[in-house]
A and B are shown apart, each in its own frame.
Chain A
Amino acid sequence: MRSRTQPLALVNAELESYARRGVFRSFSHMQGDDQHAEFCFYWLWNLPFHLTFDARRKALSFKNLLPDVPAGSELERGLKALIKSRSSSSRDQPEHRRLDPRRVSIHYSNRRGQVSLVFRVSNGEYQHAVTKALNLVNEIFVGFLNAQFPEYTAQHFRRQED
C-alpha cells in the first residue's frame, strides 16, 4: 500500500529529472508539509515558473501562469481551444500530443485576467501528469503564444521583437 507521502515524492522525482537533464536551469522544492509543496524553476526563455502540488486534492497547479488575459478575449478563446484539443479523444492530434482525461484532467481558470491551470491526477498517475502538464505549458508558450500572440508575448515575457 502506498504511503501518503509517496505522491509528493513521485512529483518531486519527476520534476527533478527535468532539472538534472538541464531543461530547468535551476530547481528548488519548498515543502510546506507532507501534503503540499511548491516547486520553483527557471525554464522557458529563462523565466521563473512556480508549480504547486496538493497531494490531498491530487492537483498540480500553475497559478497565475498568464497575466492580462481578458475574459472572453481572442487570447482566452484560443487558449481554451488549445487545451480542449489536447485533452480530447478526437484524432485531430496524434496520440503522443494528447492528454488522456482518464489519467489527468485540466481545469482552466481566469481570475481578474490571471490565468491558472490545474492538473488533477487520477489513478495515481503522478509522473504522467507532471510530464503532460509540462508539455502543455511548453506548447502554450513556445507554440501557441509565439505563433499567435507575438505582441502579448513580447509585452509580458520580455521577448524583444527587435
Chain B
Amino acid sequence: MKKARAGDTGSRRDFLKQSILTAAGAMAASKVAAGAAAPAAPPIRLPDAIPSALHLPVKPASFPMRGSQVFAKVCKNEGLAALFCCPGNYDVINSICDEGIPCFGGRTEGSMCAAADGFIRVTGEIAACSGTEGPGFTNMIMNIAAANAARTPLLVLASNKRLSEDDSEMGIQTAYQQPTTEGMRKYGKRLIDPNRIYEYSAYAFRQLKTGIPRPVHLDFPAEVYGAKFKDPSELRYYHENSKYRTDAKPYPDPKRVRALAEMIGAAQRPIIVASSGVFYSKAWDALKQVAERSDIAVVESGVARGQFSDSHRLSASTAPGALLSADLVIFIGQYSMPNVGEYSFSPDARYVRIDPDAADIGRNMPIDLGIVSCEKAALESLLEALPAVRREAWAAELAAERKKFEDENADYYKVGLSYQDAVHPAVIAQQLSDFLYRGDLPKEQTTVVAGGYGIARYTRRYLRAYRPGQICNGAYQYGAIGPDCGYSFGVSAAVQLGVGPQAAYRGSPVIGITGDAGFAYSGMELETMSKYRMPVVMIVYNNNAWGVQGSGRAAHMYLFHENLRYDKIAESLGARGEYVTRPEDFLPALKRSYQIAAKEKISTVINCQAKREFWQKAQYPPGFLGKIEPGCMAYDH
C-alpha cells in the first residue's frame, strides 16, 4: 500500500479509513438494536457521489506534469477507448480519468481485465485494465492469459513498489510483475527511468497497434509515475506519434495474389475462413466483395462474429455439413491456428494462409500458398485480380446444409421442450434466438456475449451474427468460463458508448450467457453493471454443478448445492433477478428483462434452473453436444 499523496482524488487507505468508521458505526447501531424490533433494511442505493463524479468536467493535464500524466496524455492521443480497473495504481488511473478517457471501476481486477478484453473484442479499439501492484495485478492473471490466447490488443497497467525499496519487502504487496506475464503478452516493461516514460508509452502503443495483437503490460514504480516534469525538455524522446510508429501495413506480393486468384478460379468449392484479423483490420466490406465476386463461401472463426453476415447466401458459419466439401481453404487473419483435424476440412483441400506475420504461416496447418499481408490489403488486392464467377451448385449445397443444421436445432428444441421439470438448454437457446432475430427487434441490434461451457454448446448453435462485433466469443481459445460477467460489462460499456461497429446500436441492451460455475468468478460485477446503469440481461444456466461430471468418491468435488438463487444475488447487488424453473417461463422473463434494460438501464440475472442430468445423453437426449469448427460453434480456434 502506498502513502496517500497530495493531489490524489482518492486512495485505498482513505477508503479503508472511511470503511472502518462506517463499520464501527454499523456495529454500534446493531448493539443498540439488539433486543428491539429489527428496523427495516435500508434500501440499496447509488450514492450521489457517483453520478456527481461522472458529470465533473475533464481536466486534461499540461506541463508541468507528473509521470502518470505524461502517460495518460499518450493514452489520450493514441485513442485509448476505455479503462477498466479497481483502485490501486492511483496516479495512473486518476490521470487517465482526468484526460476524459471513459473509465470504469469494478469489483475485482480480474473481471475488469475481462471487461477490457470484451470491450476490445466487439469494437476493435484498444482498452486498458489496471490494478494495484501485487494482489491486484495477480488477480488479473487468468484474464490476461485469456486475452493473450485471443490475441487481444489489451493494455495491462499496474503500479509497483518504489525502485528504492526493490527486494526489501518493505511494507506489503511486493511483486516482480514482468516474469509473471512472460508467455502471455506481446510486450512488457517495468519502467525504470522516469525520463523515459514517454518513450516506453510509445513502445506500448507501437506494439498494440502493429502486427498480430496481444496484451502489452507496463508496470509503474513510484519513482516513475510520481516523477515531475516542468517541460518536454526533461523527457528524453518526446515526439508526436507519427514519429514513433507507423500506420503502414504490409501489402501482398502481386504474384502471390495472382496465384491465389488462379487457385480460386480452378477450385469448385472454395471457402474463406474469416477470423480475428478480418475484424481487427476492419476488412468486412472487402471480404463481402471478394466472396460475392467469385461465389466463395465464408465461414467465421475467432474472437468475434459478424464480419460476414450469417444471412448471406455464401455463409457457411451455420452450415457445418458443407465444410468437408471445400476443395480450397483460405485462412484470413486466423491468428490462433488449428492443427490438422481440429477444423472440419477434407484431407484433399488445398490451404492458403493470409497473415501479417510471415513467421506464423505454416504453423500447425500445411500451406499450399502463403501471403504475408494485412488482411484488408490482401482482400482489396484480391478483389482486383478475381474474375466474376458463379458457383450455383456450391451455393445450393451451402443452403441445403444450413437448412439441415436449422432442422437439427429445431429437433433439439422439440426434445428440450418435452422436459418440463427444468429448463433445458435447447429451450433457452431457441427462444433467445427467436426473441433476438425473429421478433420485434431488428436482428442486427443486440450484441451477445456467448459464454458458459455446456450451455454454450447449445446457444452457439442458435445465436446469429449479422454485423461486425455482434457476438463476443467468450471462451475463445483459452477456454476460461469464469470471465463472462466481466466480458458482458465491457461489451455493454462498448455498446453504451457506441464505439466502433457498436455505434449504430448505441444504448441497446446486451445479452450475456454464462453457467452457474462461471457466474461465481465474476458475478459480483452485477453491482458494477448497476452502478454504471449498464443494461445487461445475464442468462445464468444453473445445473447445480460444474460442467464436467465426477463419479465415485470424487463426485462431491463436481457438485454444488442445488437450486442456488443467483437471481437473489443480483437483487442484493442492485440489479434485478428472475427465477425460471419451467420452460414456458423463460421467454416472458427474457422479454421483461430486456424491456427493463432498454427503458430503465437496469441489469437482470435470469437464473434458469436446469439439472446436471441434462448432459446424460442416454437419460436426456441429446445430452452434452459436440461441435464442429470453424463456424458458429467454434471456440477452440
Q: Is A143 an interface position by the 8 A CB rule? A: yes
Q: Which of the residues B268, B548, B628 comes within 8 Å of A143, measured between beta carbons?
A: B628
Known: A96-B325, A143-B344, A150-B625. A45 touches B339 (CB 8 A): yes
Give A149 Cβ to nearest chain B Cβ, in Å.
Answer: 7
In angstroms, Cα B346 to Cα A152, docked, is: 22
Q: Is B626 an interface position by the 8 A CB rule? A: yes
CB 8 Å contact bits of B361-378 with A (1 = contact, 0 = none) = 000011110000000000
Known: A22-B366, A135-B347, A162-B547. A97 touches B625 (CB 8 A): no
Give A15 Cβ to nearest chain B Cβ, in Å.
Answer: 11
In angstroms, Cα B547 to Cα A116, docked, is: 33
Known: A23-B366, A162-B548. A138 touches B325 (CB 8 A): no
Q: Is B221 an interface position by the 8 A CB rule? A: no
Contact A44 B340 (CB under 8 A): yes
Give B545 Cβ to nearest chain A Cβ, in Å.
Answer: 14
Known: A21-B368, A46-B339. A135 touches B346 (CB 8 A): yes
Contact A138 B366 (CB under 8 A): no
In angstroms, Cα B453 to Cα A107, docked, is: 38
Chain A residue, CB-CB nearest to B323: A143
**Which residues from B are CB-within-8-Å of A72?**
none
Q: Is A148 an interface position by the 8 A CB rule? A: yes
CB 8 Å contact bits of A49-91 with B (1 = contact, 0 = none) = 0000000000000000000000000000000000000000000
**Which residues from A are CB-within-8-Å of B339?**
45-46
Contact A43 B340 (CB under 8 A): yes
Give A30 Cβ to nearest chain B Cβ, in Å.
Answer: 21
Known: A45-B342, A150-B626. A131 touches B324 (CB 8 A): no
Contact A142 B341 (CB under 8 A): yes
Contact A149 B325 (CB under 8 A): no
Q: Is B249 an interface position by the 8 A CB rule? A: no
Known: A23-B347, A135-B346. A146 touches B340 (CB 8 A): no
Known: A143-B324, A162-B547. A135 touches B624 (CB 8 A): no
Q: Is A13 an interface position by the 8 A CB rule? A: no
Chain B positions 162-216 with a Cβ under 8 Å from a chain A Cβ: none
**B: contact size bracket:** 20 to 34
Known: A43-B341, A135-B347, A138-B346. A97 touches B479 (CB 8 A): no
The number of A-B residue pairs with CB atoms under 8 Å apart is 80
Q: Which of the residues A21, A44, A146 comes within 8 Å of B626, measured between beta carbons?
A: A146
Q: Is B5 an interface position by the 8 A CB rule? A: no
CB 8 Å contact bits of A98-115 with B (1 = contact, 0 = none) = 000000000000000000
In angstroms, Cα B340 to Cα A43, docked, is: 7
Give B346 Cβ to nearest chain A Cβ, in Å.
Answer: 6
Contact A153 B626 (CB under 8 A): yes
Q: Which of the residues A21, A22, A146 comes within 8 Å of B628, measured between beta carbons?
A: A146
CB 8 Å contact bits of B608-637 with A (1 = contact, 0 = none) = 000000000100000011111000000000
Contact B479 A162 (CB under 8 A): yes
Q: Which of the residues A45, A134, A150 comes within 8 Å of B341, measured between beta carbons?
A: A45
In angstroms, Cα B481 to Cα A18, docked, is: 38
Contact A23 B340 (CB under 8 A): yes
In angstroms, Cα B367 to Cα A46, docked, is: 17
Chain B residue, CB-CB nearest to A161: B548
CB 8 Å contact bits of B546-565 with A (1 = contact, 0 = none) = 01100000000000000000
Chain B positions 324-340 with a Cβ under 8 Å from a chain A Cβ: 324-325, 339-340
Contact B627 A150 (CB under 8 A): yes
Please, could you name 16 A-B residue pairs with CB atoms under 8 Å apart, sorted by A? Answer: A22-B365, A44-B341, A45-B340, A45-B341, A135-B347, A135-B348, A139-B324, A145-B626, A147-B320, A147-B627, A148-B626, A150-B626, A151-B617, A151-B624, A161-B548, A162-B479
Q: Which B residues are closer than 8 A to A by beta carbons?
A: 268-269, 320-321, 324-325, 339-348, 365-368, 393, 397, 453, 479, 481, 547-548, 617, 624-628
A-B CB proximity, top 3 nearest = A22-B366, A44-B341, A150-B626
